[in-house]
Structure 1
């Protein structure tokens, strides 16, 4: 008789992180199976994490962030992976490139 391992409940933090990882891997066109070769652990190790059966630890996320060139916080929804968008309201500028808040003085007559 085989043992069935239930997937985590929908909406759990583990499930959300696993979904973020799978989405970013898909964008990069990297399979979960190939992570074993790229990062050193077995493909089963990464598969358990990508399906949410086992939680990612910080070291896992750090390795993935380096491989995928995204901030570690992206996987937990703390930051956007792609940064400012060129078509966004900030015109693609990052905060350090924007004018200081008080630099737009009132016009004088």
Structure 2
């Protein structure tokens, strides 16, 4: 998540409804584990490190993607947390990936 905060310093989780302070679209849980789905917005004003020495320089473009967090709690504190977001949509919104250019024949069934 640090990589995203560095690339999108104004990043925010937006409320699910305009009249609400609830920041998740869906939230459910079982036992000590909770799953939440939210919307993330921000402006790409910092370098986005993709790993292996690959970096996308700031584009100034705005992004709006869904993300999911799955958190496990022990003694009222987060023990483990997994974060997932739509990386392809994010890269598409930054203009570095054109999904239309991927031939359907290259997709495995």
Could you say whether these structures have the same fold, taking a TM-score greater than 0.5 normalized by the shorter chain as the test? no
More strand by percentage: 2
Q: What TM-score comes out, normalization by structure 2 length?
A: 0.27
Q: Larger Rg: 1 or 2?
A: 1
More helix by percentage: 1
